[in-house]
Structure 1
Amino acid sequence: MRVPVSWLREYVDLPTEVTARELAAKLIAAGLEVETVEEVGADISGPIVVGRVLEIEELTGFKKPIRHCRVDVGAANGSGEPQNIICGARNFSEGDLVVVSLPGAELPGGFKIGARKTYGRMSEGMICSASELNLWEDHAGIIVLPEGTAEPGTDAFELLGLREDVLDIAVTPDRGYALSLRGVAREAAALYEVDFRDPAEAEPIEENGEGYPAEIADIDACDRFVLREVSGFDSDAPTPMWMKRRLALAGMRPVSLAVDVTNYVMWELGQPLHAFDRTKLSGGIVVRRAEAGERLETLDHVVRDLDPDDIVISDASGPISLAGTMGGLDSEIDDASTELVIEAAHFSAPNVARMARRHNLHSEASRRFERGVDRELPLRASARAVELLTRLGGGRPGGLTSVDPKVPGPAPIVIAERHAARIAGVDYPEGTAARRLRQIGCEVVEEGDTLRVSPPSWRPDLTDPNDLAEEVIRYEGYENIPSIPPRAPVGRGLSPGQRLRRAVGRALAGAGFTEVLSYPFVGERDLDGLQVEADDARRDALRLANPLNDDEPFLRTTLLPGLLKTLVRNVGRGFPDVALFEMGLVYLPKEGMPAAPLPGVDRAPTAEELAELEAAIPHQPRRVAAVLAGDREPAGWWGQGRAATWADAIEAAREVGRAAGVEITVRPGRYAPWHPGRCAELYVTVDGGEVLVGHAGELHPRVTKAYGLPARTAAMEVDLDPVERAREAVRAPEVSTYPVATQDVALVVETSVPAGEVEAALREGAGELLEDVRLFDVYTGEQVGEGRKSLAYSLRFRAGDRTLTAEEATAARDAAVAVAAERVGAVLRG
């Protein structure tokens, strides 16, 4: 909503010293979203004045008509002599008043005016058109001012409104009244506590006889309908310059006087109007729902198939307008229209909103009806339009038709006088609530400590005490509400789950992973890409009733789809080496889970309803997942670098375990979407038993192809809930002052034996002296035989109370090797 400040000042006595930016700040503080303050005409400077054309000499011999004009500009040129100006426009004559830019002026776009010789004559300035001054869109030629407008030499800046401050307000859905100068002026008047002049309070106009016949067939679609006639209208009457300028500043293109008046009144009062050509109407007008199979060609020359939910204005020929949205082509006014019927109505806001979306037809009228229009405005707005049409375009007012089913208004709202003060936590002076509510147009009856409030017709958004409290608080100033931070209860900090999540996030970030946040929505295509079987539990996903994207209608049952799509996006934009992780919830339906109930909003839910809601909530375990592609270690002068492999995904899972203080056991496994030969199952010990918490490894080639991933992409996913249950009390490590004894051992085992099982056997056999086991080499080749591999481990031994002897370290090593030989058939490599 664009609001020219000079237009606004007609209805509210703003202090003269208040600037547009100060006004914008005041409106923003009260809840109106002023996006910009545009200084229109700031790029225009220099002498631009009124001039009178004294002589016109037609120059010949050129490709286009050229005129040499002598123009009286008074004393504006410093000499008082007529100004010689070359001009190609043909829409003015000798004696006309025009607008002249003298040498030294600068027009929009940096166009500087000077004296120069052209077409063999000296031209000392320019006679201006509206387009050249950015006044409004006009291709008719230069501006011809009405006789008596001003004397030659008069400055044209104020006369034409060349410089203007315009507020651009983003009107939220609950403040439809602000889509008008009337609404914004009322806000400004209340904020500055100055007088407000309601433009809807116009002088009554004379009505001549009965108006055009009309009726309402569906009161739910329309509960107020007004028609006013104008006869003998001069269709050639021009729109006055002041109206053109205001419409242009508001962002609307001037068209013709009849159309411009309806747009002007809509911007001024907020009531959309529509003008019919009376001679094109047949029979009485009926406001009704569309019938199946009906069609209407609207003003934009589109033939539309109507829906039975559409509200139409019809006559004997059928639909002639989409109510509150756009008129029909067959009944529109044209350059020959002299008999007009002005329509103003109050249509159902939800119906208009659905129509606009259904037909993809969003107009200035529908924007206002969607947000709620004042039901009492149709009579006043139509009268204002008729007054302007008859005053500016001749003719005389005709009959009036007013269909008013007398729908009962809302009941008064009872509110405690101190209600707003209690909500804001501010001790407002007594009487503040009543005073502020009266400023916005409410009728307030004071009954002791309570107020009985009847909201005005232009505020359909005020429906309960809290709405009224908000009005009081915003006018008193949100900035006056004290900032009181909540006090944290003594002795409470982060929960164990929060500490775990922070530790895991820091660990993965420290390992080189970047955290991302994905939408929790997936589709069948995502699960197909993961090569998930038809009977896999991950396909049993919850479908959203109203998904944001029809291709992603389910809540996710795994974190991998979002991570993989993020990985593809990064690789596609030139970042081939990527390591990402995400922590979040997945949503798993519970067996026999009922549909969620919909309790009413007029009361708190009962215990039974709360139990039903709880039963309808899916199981929501928290997981962490990571994906890797490209180089894990970049190449450079320091070395060759290393590509990310399945082992890095397993190590990421181990990082999660280390951050949680939990040992993660790794075993071979098969699970989509991982490669069958490069997939690890991840276990933790909970209450003495092993629990599967996730998988890690290299993704299957079909998965990388389906998602467009780089080859050998690796991933892991771990369920954090059992990891948290497996955590024990964190203990600080004991630091021994005695030296470490290191023993290396190389064991030959079958290729199918996992290194993790060998390590577990070594740990068990080495006993309490063992401090750490690290695999530092894997060898396969002729020296160990086909189908076998050599695993080299470094074993660190240390005692807390003495220095170990070589014999003790060797004995512990031999014990470890013996258990490995027994468990996995390991043989010492010679």
Structure 2
Amino acid sequence: MRISLNWLKELVDITLSPAALADALTMAGFEVEDIEDRSQWADGVVVGYVTERQPHPNSDKLSLCTVDIGAGEPSSIVCGAANVKADSYVAVATVGTHLPIPDLKIKPREVRGVLSAGMICSLAELGLAKESAGIHIFSESDLSVGSDARPLLGLDDVVLDVTSTANRADALSLVGIAREVAAITGAELKMPIAPAVTPQSSTSTVAVKLSDEKAGPIYIATVLAGVKIGPSPTWLQQRLQAAGTRPINNVVDITNYVLLEWGQPLHAFDGDRLAAAANSASYELGVRYGKDGEALLTLDSQERSLKPESLVITANDQPVALAGVMGGEATEVIDSTTTVTLEAAYFDAAVIRKSARSQGLRTEASARYERGVNPAELGLACDRAVHLMTTLASAQVVSQVTARTPVGEITPTRTLDLGLSRVHAILGPVTNLGESPVPLPAAQVKTVLETLGCEVAASSDEVWQVTVPPFRYRDLEREIDLIEEVARIYGYNHFANTLPQAAAGGELSPEAALSQKLRQTCRGAGLTELIHYSLTKPTSPDQVVLANPLFPEYSALRTDLIDGLVKAYKFNLEQGNGPLNGFEIGRIFQLVDGEPQESEVVGGIMGGDARQGKWVTSDRPQPLTWFEAKGVLEAIFQRLGLAVDYRSDSDDQRLHPGRTASLWVRGRLRLGTFGQLHPQLCQAQDLPDEVYVFQLNWSALVTCLASGRRKAVKFQPYSTFPASDRDIAFYAPVTVTVADLEKAMAKAGGKLLNSVTLFDEYQGESVPDGQRSLAFRLVYRALDRTLTDDDVEPVHQKVRAALEKQFKVALRS
């Protein structure tokens, strides 16, 4: 929000410099993103008086003006604006002036053969408007020629661009910032309280009906007559411009002014046009939700189809405005308006948020309603606007109607218990009250809370009852919130720096250490870490569906990581980046017996030929095979120190039924799934044929690898003696897996058996039905000697016997 210091000084006495004030606000939690010193925009611009205007002798479109700038001799200035005229006061940039907005240095120069000494400025050249049709002519008379023009232009000001946190809805107003400045500096706060409205009549032609108890609990309709539409006074226009708001006319400008001052959105209807929309001189204003088939032309000249979640203002049940968002074009205030119906209402924050989102529209009004306005000060804001309209637009208050639902009758109040010992325990001692740190005095704590608008009453020596002001009702909810306010206003830099008495070295938890190691291992295996949204489209009854989704395509929580990884793989190909080898650690969600359950998993995807140049293979791709992909996964398991078994699986319809395996640890703990994407899925998604995915259960990994005790890594020496290898070939049933065979051979071979490698498989002629021919190479090695045939042969025969006994294999060699 843009804060004019000249405006702010009317609400609170400020003695700090702009930079010091910006620093104080930032330390208090209101970050000042920019300090705009507007006085630099027109340094050297003075008030000039055009005594004579003549056509330029060498141009039809230029004028030669004689301008008195109070320098003795009048200046001759060439001007190209069509509205320049004699006997008018103008803003003149004298020779030597630098205008930073257009980045222009004023120098004497010849224009079509005539010397021009200075420039008569437009508002755009002074930085006050994006575009200007002509020069700026002062409306005031009897100005002092040669005097500084900046006070007349509103450029004797500094504007702070202040950002407030989402929980501080009250800070979206000048009054809210003034309260903060008063609390920080201790300066006196001067609230812009206007006299209460005194209607001329106790009866009104306007009635109000609130159909939803929660959506619009308070509505004040004030009817004003005798309104004279015209430009706002200069001071009001300058304040709106400093805040970044374009002046329109006095009535609309007043509603915008009160919006910025009090943070309360208002809307002014043309009373006669409102009656025409209602088809009656007496009409009923209502607040209800939109109906299917209804439409409304809003002030931005857009016809909007109303949705069931769109909250609207109606006149005799005819929609005339989007409540809390934007008014309707058919009832807007125009130059011929003479009667105004002023709306001051309180709408529910969640309702306005949904309503604005349904129309894809967000305005200054909706932004404040969404954060939550203060209903307790609604009447003050309305009185302020009515007072300004009677003062600046000659309006007369005809009548005023206030409607409240039971929700609107409730004044938002809250009383919290605050323990002084709790304040000291959380904040610690302060350093600015003596040579050594001392606890924050109770009187200072009370003073801080009272400057924030709280009422403090002592219920005991150590516990206070603090009543929260209505404008902080949404923010101050617990004792810790009050303690935070004490620290924030007193100054975080005043509290002592203390270290824990018993310092101990920190370390990662077993789960965090495992997560870190897993990420390092996956990256070392050539996989890139990916991060996806947890939200997706609803496609299964097992999904957890959001009650209030932001978009339909993000209305449910994901049930696994595989779908997101496949989409990422496809997107990578479409962007011309080649195949994607990546992994992700994330949470998934499912409904189990109607209850949502959350778990963490590890997913990955790989495949395709990642090489960019394929000249070695004559541009023929060599995609990743199933065994190569399995090797990548096994390399990860080996680095983690995890022994995994593979079992055939076909439960997931997205995976190839013959190239999918379930992963098991210790024979009974399921770790996850690994497999190739089904060819039909690859064809539908326009993916390569060989794409592989895996998904691992994080809880299983934690169970196996994240123990509380840190195990020291033991070095296992390499054998310096040569190995002795033996080959073994046999017929085995196809139902027997190679993993089971290797496990049996490793157990029978004992410590001498160094490795078992499958190097041949054959099915076809000369092989019995239901069997396959397998050949393994067994490598034997000892740590302390060179093995002889006498050492190897007994062990090898033991392996052969184990295979015959356990799997009924038919040995061939």
1:333-359 Cα distance to aligned partner (Å, 9 max, x none): 211234444443444444444433344
The range that moved more, 7-16 or 511-520, is 511-520
Question: Displacement of 1:252 after TM fit?
Answer: 0.9
C-alpha contact (below 8 Å) 1:667/1:680 kept by paired residues: yes
The structure-2 alpha-carbon separation of the partners of 1:375 and 1:51, relative to structure 1 and needing over 3 Å to count, comes to same
What is the aligned counterpart of 1:231 among 220, 226, 229? 226
Shift of 1:421: 0.7
Match of 1:155 in 2: 148
Query: Distance in 2 between the 1:385 and 1:725 partners?
Result: 67
Q: Which residue of structure 2 aligns with residue 560 of structure 1?
A: 562
Which amino acid in 1 is paired with 2:47?
Answer: V
Of 792, 795, 805 in structure 2, the residue corresponding to residue 809 of structure 1 is: 792
Matches within 5 A, 1:20-39: 20=19, 22-34=20-32, 36-39=33-36
- 1:493-515 deviation per Cα after TM superposition (whole angstroms, max 9, x unaligned): 76665555454444333322233
How many residue pairs get aligned? The number is 776
Partner of 1:603: none
CA contact (8 A) 1:290 1:307 kept: no
Contact persistence 1:627–1:716 (CA under 8 A) = yes
In 1, distance between residues paired with 2:660 and 2:46?
Answer: 84
Q: 2:221 and 2:545 mapped to 1: Cα distance?
A: 47
User: What residue in structure 2 maps to residue 336 of structure 1?
Assistant: 336
**121-130 or 578-587, which moves further after superposition?**
578-587
In structure 1, the partner of 2:433 is none
Query: Out of 474, 480, 483, which is 2:488 matched to?
Result: 474
Kindly indicate whether residue 742 of structure 2 is the aligned counterpart of residue 762 of structure 1.
Answer: no
Name which of 687, 691, 695 aligns with 1:713.
691
Partner of 1:679: 660
Letter in 2 for 1:582: E
Q: CA deviation at 1:135?
A: 0.8
Q: Where do 1:35-54 residues align within 5 Å? A: 36-39=33-36, 41=38, 44=41, 47-54=44-51
User: Mean alpha-carbon deviation: is it higher for 291-300 or for 150-159?
Assistant: 291-300
Trace 1:729-748 onto structure 2 (pairs within 5 A): 735=716, 739-748=720-729
1:186 and 1:806 mapped to 2: Cα distance? 95
* Shift in alpha-carbon separation, 1:232–1:747, aligned structure 2, 3 A: closer
Flag structure 1 segments of 5+ consecutive residues without an equivalent: 528-538, 596-615
Instruction: Please tell me the residue identity of whatever aligns with 1:355.
Output: S
- Residue 579 of structure 1 corresponds to 581
Alignment of 1:565-714 (within 5 A): 565-576=567-578, 578-587=580-589, 589-590=591-592, 593=593, 595=594, 616=595, 618=597, 620=599, 622-631=600-609, 643-670=623-650, 672=652, 673-686=654-667, 690=668, 692-714=670-692
1:709-729: per-residue Cα shift (whole Å, max 9, x none)?
333122333345456656799
Matches within 5 A, 1:139-178: 139-148=132-141, 150-162=143-155, 164-178=157-171
1:663 aligned counterpart, secondary structure: coil
When the two structures are superposed, what TM-score results if normalisation uses the length of structure 1? 0.81
Counting aligned pairs with the same residue, the percent is: 30
Q: Does 1:509 align with 2:519?
A: no
C-alpha contact (below 8 Å) 2:314/2:321 kept by paired residues: yes
Residue 270 of structure 1: how far off its partner (Å): 2.2
Query: In structure 2, how many angstroms separate the alpha carbons of the residues matched to 1:313 and 1:674?
Result: 55
SS across alignment from 2:3: strand
Give the whole-Å Cα distance in 2 for the aligned partners of 1:224 and 1:552: 36
How far apart are 1:795 and its partner, in Å? 0.6
Give the corresponding residue for 2:431: none
Is the 1:277–1:331 Cα contact (8 Å) retained in structure 2? yes
Residue equivalent to 2:115? 122
Change (3 A) 1:47 1:331: same
1:291 CA displacement = 7.9
Aligned counterpart, 2:452: 440
TM-score normalised by the chain length of structure 2 = 0.82
Q: CA deviation at 1:72?
A: 0.8
Matches of 1:42 and 1:793 in 2, distance apart? 88
Q: Distance in 2 between matches of 1:377 and 1:284?
A: 29
Paired residue type of 1:471: E
Quickly say closer, same or farther: Cα 1:150–1:675, change in 2 above 3 A.
same
TM alignment of 1:77-96, pairs within 5 A: 80-96=72-88
Sort the Cα spacing of 1:337 and 1:496 in 2 relative to 1 into closer, same or farther, 3 A: closer
| 1:26–1:657 Cα change, 3 Å | same
Residue 367 in structure 1 maps to residue 362 in structure 2? no
Which residue number corresponds to residue 254 of structure 1?
A: 247
In the other structure, the counterpart of 1:601 is none
Q: 1:66 — aligned with what? A: 62
Tell me the secondary structure at the aligned position of residue 50 of structure 2. strand
Q: Residues 446 and 557 of structure 1: is their aligned pair in 2 closer, same or farther, counting only changes over 3 Å?
A: closer
Q: Give the superposition deviation at 1:48.
A: 1.8
Could you list the per-position Cα deviations for residues 668-701 of structure 1 after superposition, in whole angstroms to 9, with x for gaps in the alignment? 5545433344334433324xxx555433343332
Residues 549/324 of structure 1: CA separation in 2 closer, same or farther (3 Å cut): closer
Deviation string, structure 1 residues 610-645 (Cα, Å, up to 9, x no partner): xxxxxx45374x543322124478989999997532
Q: How does 1:247-326 map to 2 (within 5 A)?
A: 247-282=240-275, 283-284=281-282, 286-290=284-288, 296-304=296-304, 313-315=313-315, 318-326=318-326
CA distance 1:555–1:46, change in 2 (3 Å): closer
In 2, Cα distance between the equivalents of 1:165 and 1:826?
A: 95
Any idea what the Cα deviations from partners look like across 1:470-496, whole Å, max 9, x if unmatched? 433322234556777889999997666
Residue 109 of structure 1 aligns to a residue in which SS? coil
Q: Does the 8 Å contact 1:37/1:165 carry over to 2?
A: no
Residues 312 and 119 of structure 1: CA distance in aligned 2, closer, same or farther (over 3 Å) = same
Work out the CA distance in 1 between the residues paired with 2:286 and 2:583: 57
State how far apart, in whole Å, the 1-side matches of 2:86 and 2:505 are.
91
Q: Structure 1 residues 750, 94: closer, same or farther in 2, change over 3 A?
A: farther
- CA 1:470 to 1:736, structure 2 compared with 1: closer, same or farther past 3 Å? closer
Query: 1:61, 1:808 → 2: CA distance?
Result: 116
Are 1:211 and 1:228, in contact at CA under 8 Å, matched by a contact in 2?
A: no
Letter in 2 for 1:767: G
* Deviation at residue 13 of structure 1 after TM alignment: 1.7
Alignment check: 8 A CA contact 1:53 1:96 kept: yes
Q: Tell me the secondary structure at the aligned position of residue 217 of structure 1.
A: strand
CA spacing shift, 1:149–1:313, aligned 2, 3 Å: farther
Residue 332 of structure 2: SS of its match in structure 1?
Answer: coil
How many Å apart are 1:56 and its aligned residue?
0.8
Q: Mark the CA change 1:423 to 1:519 in structure 2 (over 3 Å): closer, same or farther.
A: farther
Cα separation, partners in 2 of 1:310 and 1:190, compared to 1, 3 Å: same
- Kindly provide the amino acid, as one letter, of the partner of residue 438 in structure 1: E
Note the C-alpha offset of 1:560: 1.8
Aligned mates of 1:423, 1:705 — CA distance in 2: 65
1:153-206, Cα deviation, whole Å (9 max, x unpaired): 2222344234754333344443222121111111111111112221x2246788
Q: CA deviation at 1:54?
A: 0.7
Match of 2:435 in 1: none
Structure 2 CA distance for aligned equivalents of residues 702 and 155 of structure 1 = 79
Unmatched 5+ residue regions in structure 2? 276-280, 429-438
**Which residue is 1:105 aligned to?**
97
Instruction: Name 1:401's counterpart in structure 2.
Output: 400
